[in-house]
Amino acid sequence: QDAELHERIRSAKEALGERLVILGHFYQRDEVVQHADFVGDSFQLAQAALTKPEARSIVFCGVHFMAETADILSAEDQQVILPNRAAGCSMADMADEDSVEEAWEEIAEFYGFDPKNPQPDADGKLPVLPVTYMNSSAALKAFCGRLGGIVCTSSNAATVLEWAFERAHRVLFFPDQHLGRNTAKAMGIPLDHMPMWNPRLPRGGNAADDLERAEVLLWHGFCSVHKRFTVDQIDQARQQFPDCRVIVHPECPMPVVDAADASGSTDAIRRFVEASSPGDVIAVGTEINMVNRLAAEYPDRRIFCLDPVICPCSTMYRIHPGYLAWVLDSLVAGQVENRISVPQETAAEARIALDRMLAAKP
Ligand code: 13P
Ligand code: SF4
C-alpha cells in the first residue's frame, strides 16, 4: 500500500514537472519528506515560497500558518495547497484576533496611545510594538502589519526584537511565551520586565506596576511538544553520557534552554548536528521525526531525543502521504483541492509585517 502511494506521488510529480514545488518542514514524517523538493525551518520555507515563481502550485507539507505565509509571499498566479486542512498548530490557535485586540486596547489605554494609530513620542519611538511569532494566523500578522509591527521566526527572534526596540519602548510578543522570554532574557532584559499579558486570563500581582516596568509583554501561548522537555531529562542525559551536548528548540521553557548547551531553530539544530564529529553524543529537545531522521543520517554519532516518550507534533503528523498523493492526483486531473487562500486585504497587511522581517534579517 505504501509503495503504491509513493508511486502515485512520484508519477504525479513527474507529470506536473516544473509547475509544482513541494515544500516540507523538518517535522514531517520521512514518508513525506522524501518527496519534498525543499526541506527547511519555517523561515527558510517562507523564503522558498518566494524563489520558485515558475511553479504554479506550491504544495506545503507543514501546518496551516506556514501555508498561509507561503500564500501571502507567493506570486498572484501561484496557488498554495495544504494536503490536509486539519494540520493546524495548537500554539497558533492560542492567540485569536479578538483577544489580542482586547489586550492591545487595554495596553493602549494604560500607555495613553490611540490603539488604531499609535504614534511615536518625542524620542521618535512607539510606546508598544506588536511582534508575532510566525506560528500565528494571517489575521494576526495583518494586525502587526498595520500597527508598525513585525513577524519573527525562531531563527531570527533576536534580530527582530532588536529591530523592534530601535523603534519602540516596549514589545507585545505573541503567541509563544517561551520564545519571547528566552529571546528577551538573552538580550539582558530582566524577567520582571516581561509580564504575561492576556486580559481574559486571571493574573496575580499588580497590573499597573507590571505595565510600568514592562519591556516585553508576553502572551500565554506555548507548544505542547516543546513544553514536555524538562531540566530533569537534561540532567539524566548528562549523567548517562557525561560528554553529551544538549541542543533544544527555543520554544522549550526557559529553565530547559538555560540548562542546554545551545538552542536554535530546527535548521540551527540540523547545523549543530552537521558540525559535530563521529562518536559525539547529542541530546536533542525537539520533535521526534526530526530527531530520528538526524540519528539515521549520522549513524556514527549517538543522537537521541531528550524526551523518552515518543511525542510527534500531532498536527504536522496529519500530513499523511495519502493526502499528498490525493492533492497531487487532483492537480494532474486539473482540480485544485485544499487551496489555502488568504483574503486580499489581510494578505496585503500581513505582507508588510513579513517584509519587515525579511528585511530585518542580518
Ligand atoms: P522552526 O522555525 O524552528 O522550524 O520552528 C517551527 C515550529 O513550529 C517549531 O515548533
Ligand atoms: Fe505548532 Fe508545536 Fe507543532 Fe510547531 S511543534 S507546529 S509550535 S504544535
Give the pLDDT confidence of 316-339 residue by residue, as tens digits. 999 999 999 999 999 999 999 999
Residue 196 among known ligand-binding residues? no
Tell me: pLDDT of 47 over 90. Answer: no
How far apart are the CA of 66 and the centre of ligand 1, in A? 10
Is the reported ipTM for this assembly greater than 0.85? Answer: yes
Q: Which atom of ligand 1 is nearest to the CA of 223?
A: 10
Residue 18 among known ligand-binding residues? no
Residue 74 among known ligand-binding residues? no
Q: What is the pTM of this model?
A: 0.96
Our mutation pick for probing the ligand 1 site, out of 89, 225, 249, 290, counting the most ligand atoms within 8 A of Cβ, is: 249
* Residue 118: band (very low, low, confident or very high) from pLDDT cuts 50, 70, 90: very high
* Residue 362: band (very low, low, confident or very high) from pLDDT cuts 50, 70, 90: low
Residue 155 among known ligand-binding residues? no
73-82: Cβ within 8 A, 24+ apart:
73/46, 73/49, 73/351, 73/354, 74/49, 74/50, 78/53, 79/336, 79/339, 79/341, 80/49, 80/339, 80/340, 80/341, 81/57, 81/327, 81/331, 81/336, 81/337, 81/338, 81/339, 81/340, 82/338, 82/340
Domains of the chain, start order:
2-88+316-342 (3.40.50.10800), 92-223 (no CATH), 226-305 (3.40.50.10800)
Q: Which residues line ligand 2 (CB under 6 A)?
A: 63, 89-91, 135, 223-225, 251, 287, 313, 315-316
Task: Give the model confidence (pLDDT) of 148-205 as tens digits.
Answer: 999 999 999 999 999 999 999 999 999 999 999 999 999 999 999 999 988 778 777 7
- Please, what is the average pLDDT of the chain? 95
